[in-house]
Structure 1
Amino acid sequence: MMKSLCVCVLLIGVANGLSLSSPSTQKPLHSRRVVLSTLSTAALSYLLVPTIALAGEGVNQRKFQRYPSIKFIAALGDPMASSGVGADAWGLWREDPGPRGVYLRDYDRRLLSNNNVAPAGWTFDPTDWWVEEHGLIMSTPEPLPRKRYDKDAGVVLPEKRYVVTGDRAVTTILTVRDDGSWELEKGTLYDVTHLPCRSAAYRGETCAPRNANLKDFPVKPGAEMPKIDGCNKQDYAVLFVLGEEL
């Protein structure tokens, strides 16, 4: 079984300030690799609910639709900050990039020899390629959407809200805006970063997967991704995205 970007066991509770709406028979979210412990009944019940309703004092109720499967944000910013700028440089994986990845050791055989097209169908970008903690080359994430279409008003709003978590103590709402600003309604960027997930982009004219030292992998949870000769490295925080505002 191919390893994916990171292990996750989602134990998300209503204590985080999210109340729930009508139940559903949808299948629960899948873990990202091998589940290391059994989901509690309460957590499983939470994940079965497709719509999250959030209401606060003086705020109209907002509804967030749960995704059928987890998405993943690659974020940059001060780990201790609850808001900032630069979300225009953040990325989004709509599918788990790990199982669709190619190991660094297999670059020549599975990417280079196939015109940089991975077996899963994505195209390797030699100017901007991404690696996770086990040494899997991943697809480059798309830019994170920062606008939302309001069906009721019939207009496009210059901001978008997501339900995010680090699979630890905090599950909260992330707002990103078209100007690149962002803010969390609770906690810090560190609080919603899934620490076992390590992800970095490698860039540069002389940057190539064959320059990597395979002994540098796997990377320990919380550690920086390794440097690769000839590459400019940028580490990214990985956030689990459970849903978005309707």
Structure 2
Amino acid sequence: MIPLPFAREQSVEESKPRRRDFASASVLLASSLALSFAANADENAQPEFKRLRRTQFIAALGDPDSSSGAAADEWGLWPLDPGPRGVYLRDYRSLESRGGKAPAKWQFDRKDWWLEEHGLIMEKPDFPLAPGKYIVTGGREVSSILTVYPDARWELSNGAKLYDVTHLPCRAARYTPMSDAASPANARLTDFPVKPGAEMPTVEGHQKQDYAVLFVIGVEA
């Protein structure tokens, strides 16, 4: 194993402890794993990275057993942990009464909304994921360099598969209504929390797209 060539740490405010984070304590494990995952790689061929002191999150689509693919322009990025910034489904009516403005200042879009495993409505990620190199992990045994190319192809280093760098406890799905009558109020609160690795629940009147969640703990300097 050879260490990744991290540059000086990014200067950002330290995260404060939060009761219910989208990321679990395994982020700490992921940070240490990323220092020594590039087995059999050419050190001179590796780009320089900066470690993120505040974990970011990728919403990814693709075959879990693949190490590369296309359509990364359909992937998104949460620069901030969207879990603590979310609104519980049980509080949807209150969110609606405020014109969709969440306490964390993001705007709810009834025509395109996101949900996580505890039943929290989240802000949308930023689309598309920008081309570049990202150090990603699922907080388990594997970390990898994700390369996103300008033509929207993506590739993981060292033979890692998308499943290997997916954080299984974090579930995320995108919901789009099929009629004007569709509403997040139709969600069944008893469907939450969702078990790690399980699909997100359906919501009456909506189409659903499940996304894999990847931790981003470093980016190309």
TM-score, normalization by structure 2: 0.84
Deviations 1:141-190 (A, max 9, x none): 1114333xxxxxxxxxxxx1000000011111000112211000031000
The match for 2:149 is 177
For structure 2, the residue ranges without an aligned partner over 5 or more in a row are none
Q: Superposition pairs for residues 80-229 of structure 1, below 5 Å?
A: 80-109=65-94, 111-147=95-131, 160-186=132-158, 187-206=160-179, 207-229=182-204
8 Å contact from structure 2 (residues 134, 147) kept in 1: yes
Identity score, percent: 53
- The CA distance in 2 between the partners of 1:24 and 1:36, in whole Å, is 20
Evaluate the alpha carbon distance shift between residue 76 and residue 120 of structure 1 in structure 2; reply closer, same or farther with a 3 A threshold: same
Secondary structure at the counterpart of residue 120 of structure 1: coil
8 Å contact from structure 1 (residues 53, 61) kept in 2: no
Deviations 1:177-219 (A, max 9, x none): 1221100003100000000000000002433110101110110
* Rg comparison, structure with higher value: 1
For structure 1, the residue ranges without an aligned partner over 5 or more in a row are 1-14, 148-159
The one-letter code sitting in structure 1 at the alignment partner of 2:92 is: Y
TM-score, normalization by structure 1: 0.76
8 Å contact from structure 2 (residues 116, 173) kept in 1: yes
What is the root-mean-square deviation of aligned Cα atoms in Å? 3.1
Normalized per residue, which structure has more helix? 2
- The CA distance in 2 between the partners of 1:162 and 1:28, in whole Å, is 21
Evaluate the alpha carbon distance shift between residue 81 and residue 232 of structure 1 in structure 2; reply closer, same or farther with a 3 A threshold: same
8 Å contact from structure 1 (residues 127, 205) kept in 2: no
Evaluate the alpha carbon distance shift between residue 225 and residue 21 of structure 1 in structure 2; reply closer, same or farther with a 3 A threshold: closer
The match for 1:5 is none
The one-letter code sitting in structure 2 at the alignment partner of 1:70 is: T
The one-letter code sitting in structure 2 at the alignment partner of 1:117 is: K
- The CA distance in 2 between the partners of 1:188 and 1:228, in whole Å, is 30
The one-letter code sitting in structure 2 at the alignment partner of 1:64 is: F
The match for 1:68 is 53
1:36 to partner: Cα distance: 6.0
